[in-house]
Structure 1
Amino acid sequence: MKILKFFTVLGILLEITSCIPPNEQVKTIPLDGEWLSKYPAKFEFTIEDYQTPKNIIFVIRNNNSYPYSNIRLFTSIYSDKAKNQSKTDTLNYIMAKPNGEWLGTGFGNTKEMLFLYKSAYQFPKNGKYIIEVKHAMRKNPLIGLDDIGIKIETLNP
């Protein structure tokens, strides 16, 4: 069973990375069905064209073990040289319809959802940045999440 799950996740990651346009950066972290809030997901990336606005999108993959219809996140963006200048955002995303049907795409037990975090965001300067994400749900560890990721889309001028 674990081998099947491993190859399924590997296949999904290969499919995503092979289809990434050159104006996007996508990074994912496997959660293996369990996420402790004291261990934030950290995504490090480099911005080389800070003048061009970017969309920052969360990629969340869950399975049928996820017990809620939403997810709450604490997030912050900061330069690798200035963590003390970050501010925390509290976000709430809906993951299921009122009847319990999962939103998003996918087949079988796993669904992938994209949630817009920042629209047309302009970074203050070029350099390395970190986006830190913690779940803010009451249940800890949070079960039913397979992966969390970040997608940075460069907008066309």
Structure 2
Amino acid sequence: MPAESEIAYFAAGCFWGVEAAFRNVSGVISTAVGYQGGDSLNPTYQDVCRGDTNHAEVVRVIFDPARVDYQKLLSVFWDNHNPTTLNRQGPDIGTQYRSAIFYVNDAQKELAEQSKSQLEQAKVFSKPIVTEILKAPDFFMAEDYHQQYLEKRGLATCSL
């Protein structure tokens, strides 16, 4: 990690499309997909998909705070999924597809809670926001074939 960089974690459904959304943000240094928030060490994709681990599919974002602030990353998060569907995004169903922000410090926690509250007060969504805001647990890197999955296949987004 570059010296002046920061890290953020977001779960917003299938990590392939979420990663692509963050990779396109100026100031994002790198992204990686993986698993967080579960009950076992070193989960595999198969474990997570079976629902055996309670992990969420997550994108780790390493960013330069001089070029992009955490609030911008929160905007990308909220704009690229439906935070009102519990354990579901589009056709993908299961706890691994839940909406969550895993914060790494108190500043991120405060900003995440403020952004969620502002969206709820503004009634941006017709249903209540179910996004969890939790302290970041260990991040387990997903298998290599999941990293930059869409980019490797010449795709810009997932089609639902």
Structure number with higher helix proportion = 2
Larger RCO of the pair (alpha carbons < 8 Å, separation 6+): 1
Greater strand share, structure number: 1
* Bigger radius of gyration among the two: 1
